[in-house]
């Protein structure tokens, strides 16, 4: 329905409600689909050209598909909606004889018996019927699945029910098929009640539910929890737990449902749902409101706010309002130390980074501790004499902070961590953290103390590949150990296969954190297709402007709402280029004003139907100003890695349509796209 025009969607909603009020469909020209093997499939007339395809079974009506006449009938003629013979889950099954018509040429010429060489190209050739049926493959698909070519593996989600597709894809990429055996339903049970059926079907018990789903489908389904994720939400844990996965795999939704689950399990539980920024916290709050809209008391148990704000409140209650020193203040103190003859030959930039990333972050307050501190992410090794020189500056900073009554954020967190360790209590029974990959050293130390309070006190969600704010460091050394309790999600529900595949080229196949936990990107799949992303290297900014404005007009013509379109750039200096592209598209002002323009950093956690990543120029990405501020050339590798992660984050904000543009010769990162 979302692909139809607004007027067509309105007509579909009216017809859907009419069908709910009158299942017999009086006046809707109901018609049985004759050219299909499913005798329960019917069509309902919405307008002269629009049809709803539905399954009628007694008094139950299933709304399955809507589209223009030929498209709708073609869909129905290629499908059966039936319970799986072994699992009992209701499935939408594409007819294999229809698939034969569009098979690649290699199927026509394939020999009856595969040779060992061909078996490598057909990953499911050796699987038996029972093995395939156990993971939900429909019987009609047993032989076609065995003949499947590895080059067409990504199309598996369009051909098979999701549970079967996920199992086979995991098997083909090194996983175990037995890990995906579906629990059979009890004899006589409702095939729509099976957890796998609930991936595809939603039962509306009353008119209010139906109208709510039709009126706000995107917002409603944005918080839908897939059964594959439910286990992580309700699981009994034995310590701090982390959910990982690449962009779009549902980490935020799992965290959100975990918070609600913890609150619902205990009516007196206090739950903090938190992240690193106010905009992301606002987004979480909206989704939490949707989940709890039927239970206002449940919503009152959950506090949604940035972690800094939550800890600030704890600090205020204990010590009063803090006067927080800024980075500018610290730079001034370092300059004062240089004026007094301290610090040379080290640079101010190097010492500022050393203070922020090591000394202040880790709460180092004496030279011996500084000498022993692991220099993770700081590749420059300092000799004893250099450390003594540096420590004179850091001692000066601490003296200035104390004399002026200033504190830093790490000091605030460390103070609260010590308090929790001493008292064994915190105002929350559970803390659920989203975007945990960007937690600071002090924040992890604080959460490590929280984790000691109870086995299920802490739940974290994040993706190392999206770390854009912090240098890597060990959580375990700070008291937060998630080893053995870290689970990676592999199914991408948000981003098309084409966009995900292109963005993944920016990152290595696997990333290992400082505690040895590996996050593999191999085997991650998207459950839907979309157009190929468009990568453009323009001769000049005017050419880029024209191309992006044309892309914006095309998005509008495809009925993408302006608030579902985003233009992302490396920094605020590139905002004018984005604004010029919108102006050149000559939209109505009310439309143009709704298109989001944001930096790549600020886009973290956001999502759009269509995204243009603009100004990916050689002198923009990676950001040259950031590189020149680095105090030591040895730190460049980490900076480049973070800049690459930024582009990955920007590209994966798009669901369906992505355009990446820049002026020749373009960012070196674009070479990875192989466009």
**Which CATH number characterizes residue 503's domain?**
3.40.50.300
Residue 516 lies in a domain: yes
pLDDT of residue 219: 53
Question: DSSP secondary structure string, 389-453?
Answer: HHHHHHHHHHHHHHHHT-B-HHHHHHHHHHHHHHH---S-SEEEESSGGG--HHHHHHHHHHHTS
How far apart CA 8 and CA 67 sit, in angstroms, is: 10
Are 294 and 437 in the same domain?
Answer: yes
Whether 561 and 646 map to the same domain: the answer is yes
On whether both 549 and 610 belong to a single domain, the answer is: yes
Is the residue at 277 inside a domain? Answer: yes
Please indicate, yes or no, if residue 639 is contained in any of the structural domains.
yes
Q: Do 427 and 563 sit in the same domain of this protein?
A: no
Domain extent, residue 351, equals 327-406
Could you tell me how many helices (H) and strands (E) the chain has, helices first?
28, 21
CA distance 204 to 213: 9
User: Residue 212 half-sphere exposure, CB side, CA atoms within 13 Å?
Assistant: 14
Q: Pick the last residue of a domain from 467, 500, 525.
A: 525
**What stretch of H or E contains 554?**
helix 541-557
Spell out the residues 6+ positions from residue 276 whose beta carbon is closer than 8 angstroms to its own.
306, 307, 308, 435, 438, 439, 469
Residue bearing tokens 């959100």: 256
298 with 419, same domain: the answer is: yes
DSSP string covering 240-273, please?
-EEEEESTTSSHHHHHHHHHHHHHHH-TT--EEE
Residues 503 and 554 in one domain: no
Is 471 part of a structural domain of the chain?
A: yes
CB 150 within 8 A of CB 121: yes
Which residue among 525, 547, 568 closes a domain?
Answer: 525
Which pLDDT score is estimated for 471? 64
CA nearest to 175, candidates 155, 153, 158, 159: 153
Phi-psi region of 117 (alpha: psi -120 to 50; beta: other; left: phi over 0): alpha
Sign, Cα dihedral of 257, 258, 260, 261: positive
- Say if 387 falls within a structural domain: yes
C-alpha span between 574 and 539 (Å, rounded): 17
366 and 422 housed in the same domain = no
Spans of the chain, pLDDT less than 50: 98-119
Instruction: Please tell me the distance from the alpha carbon of residue 271 to that of residue 457, in angstroms, as a whole number.
Output: 9
Secondary structure class of 615 (helix, strand, coil): coil
Residues 313 and 342 in one domain: no
**Residue at 372 is within a domain:** yes
Q: Mind listing the pLDDT tens digit for each residue in 413-471?
A: 999 999 998 888 889 999 999 989 888 899 999 999 999 999 999 999 987 766 655 56
Q: Give the pLDDT score at 99.
A: 47
Q: What angle do CA 387, 391, 393 make, to 5 degrees?
A: 125
In a domain, 19, yes or no: no
Q: How many domains are there within the chain?
A: 3
Name residue, tokens 């301290």. Answer: 342
Contact 255, 242 (CB under 8 A): no
Among the listed residues 459, 465, 511, 468, the one whose alpha carbon sits nearest the alpha carbon of residue 492: 465
Q: Which residues contact 256 (CB under 8 A, 6 or more apart)?
A: 223, 273, 284, 287, 288, 291, 432, 434
Q: How far apart are CA 623 and CA 483, in angstroms?
A: 35
Same domain membership, residue 626 and residue 598:
yes
Instruction: Verify that 353 and 501 share a domain, yes or no.
Output: no
Residue where a domain stops, chosen among 463, 494, 525: 525
> 30 in a domain, yes or no?
no
Whole-model pTM over 0.75? no
Paired tokens of 604: 């973290």
The C-alpha atoms of residue 133 and residue 662 are separated, in whole angstroms, by: 49
Question: Tens of pLDDT along 138-154?
Answer: 999 999 999 888 777 76
Residues 56 and 42: their CA atoms lie apart, in Å, by 7
Q: Which residues contact 96 (CB under 8 A, 6 or more apart)?
A: 140, 141, 144
Same domain, 437 and 392: no
Same domain, 539 and 624: yes
In terms of Cβ atoms closer than 10 Å to its own Cβ (0-12, 13-18, 19+), residue 660 is: buried
């Amino acid at each position: 329905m979302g692909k139809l025009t607004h007027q067509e969607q309105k007509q579909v909603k009216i017809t859907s409600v009419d069908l709910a009020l009158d299942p017999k469909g009086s006046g809707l020209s109901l018609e049985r689909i004759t050219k299909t093997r499913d005798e329960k499939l019917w069509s309902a007339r919405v307008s002269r050209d629009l049809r709803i395809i539905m399954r009628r079974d007694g008094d139950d009506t299933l709304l399955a598909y809507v589209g223009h006449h030929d498209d709708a009938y073609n869909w129905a003629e290629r499908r059966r909606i039936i319970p799986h013979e072994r699992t009992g889950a209701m499935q939408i099954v594409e007819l294999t004889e229809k698939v034969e018509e569009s098979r690649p040429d290699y199927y026509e010429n394939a020999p009856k018996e595969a040779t060992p060489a061909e078996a490598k190209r057909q990953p499911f050739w050796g699987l038996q019927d029972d093995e395939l049926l156990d993971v939900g493959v429909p019987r009609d698909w047993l032989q076609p699945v065995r003949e499947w070519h590895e080059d067409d593996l990504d199309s598996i989600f369009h051909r098979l029910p999701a549970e079967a597709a996920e199992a086979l894809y995991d098997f083909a990429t090194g996983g175990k098929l037995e890990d995906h055996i579906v629990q059979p339903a009890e004899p006589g049970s409702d095939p729509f009640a099976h957890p796998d059926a609930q991936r595809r079907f939603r039962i509306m018990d009353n008119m209010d539910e139906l109208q709510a789903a039709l009126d706000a489908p995107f917002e409603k389904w944005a918080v839908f929890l897939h059964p594959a994720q439910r286990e992580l939400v309700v699981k009994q844990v034995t310590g701090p737990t982390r959910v990982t996965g690449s962009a779009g795999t549902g980490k935020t939704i799992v965290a959100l449902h975990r918070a609600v689950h913890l609150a619902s399990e205990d009516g007196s539980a206090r739950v903090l749902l938190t992240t690193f920024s106010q905009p992301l916290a606002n987004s979480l709050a909206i989704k939490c409101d949707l989940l709890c809209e039927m239970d206002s008391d449940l919503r009152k148990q959950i506090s949604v706010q940035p972690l800094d704000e939550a800890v600030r409140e704890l600090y205020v209650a204990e010590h009063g309002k803090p006067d927080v020193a800024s980075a500018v203040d610290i730079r001034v103190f370092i300059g004062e130390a240089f004026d007094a003859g301290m610090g040379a030959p080290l640079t101010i930039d190097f010492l500022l980074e050393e203070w922020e990333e090591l000394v202040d972050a880790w709460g180092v307050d004496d030279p011996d501790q500084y000498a022993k501190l692991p220099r993770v992410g700081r590749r420059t090794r300092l000799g004893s004499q250099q450390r003594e020189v540096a420590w004179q500056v850091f001692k000066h900073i601490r003296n200035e902070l104390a004399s002026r009554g200033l504190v830093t954020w790490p000091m605030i967190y460390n103070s609260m961590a010590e308090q929790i360790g001493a008292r064994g209590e915190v105002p929350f029974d559970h803390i659920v953290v989203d975007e945990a990959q960007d937690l600071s050293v002090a924040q992890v130390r604080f959460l490590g103390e929280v984790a000691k309070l109870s086995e299920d006190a802490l739940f974290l969600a994040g993706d190392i590949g999206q770390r854009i704010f912090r240098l890597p460091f060990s959580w375990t050394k700070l008291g937060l150990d998630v080893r053995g309790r870290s689970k990676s999600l592999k199914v991408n529900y948000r981003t098309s296969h084409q966009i995900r595949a292109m963005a993944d080229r920016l990152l290595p196949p696997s990333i290992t954190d400082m505690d040895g936990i590996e996050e593999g990107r191999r085997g991650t799949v998207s459950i839907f297709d979309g157009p190929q992303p468009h990568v453009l290297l323009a001769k000049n900014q005017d050419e880029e402007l024209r191309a992006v404005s044309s892309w914006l007009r095309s998005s509008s013509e495809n009925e993408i709402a302006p608030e579902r379109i985003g233009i992302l750039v490396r920094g605020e200096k590139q905002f004018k280029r984005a604004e010029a592209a919108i102006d050149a598209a000559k939209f109505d002002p009310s439309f143009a004003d709704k298109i989001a323009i944001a930096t790549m950093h600020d886009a973290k956690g956001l999502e759009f139907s269509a995204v243009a990543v603009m100004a990916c120029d050689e002198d923009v990405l990676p950001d040259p100003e950031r590189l020149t501020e680095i105090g030591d050339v040895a730190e460049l590798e980490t900076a480049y890695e973070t800049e690459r992660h930024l582009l990955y984050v920007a590209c994966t904000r798009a669901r369906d349509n992505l355009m990446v543009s820049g002026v020749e010769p373009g960012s070196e990162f674009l070479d990875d796209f192989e466009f």
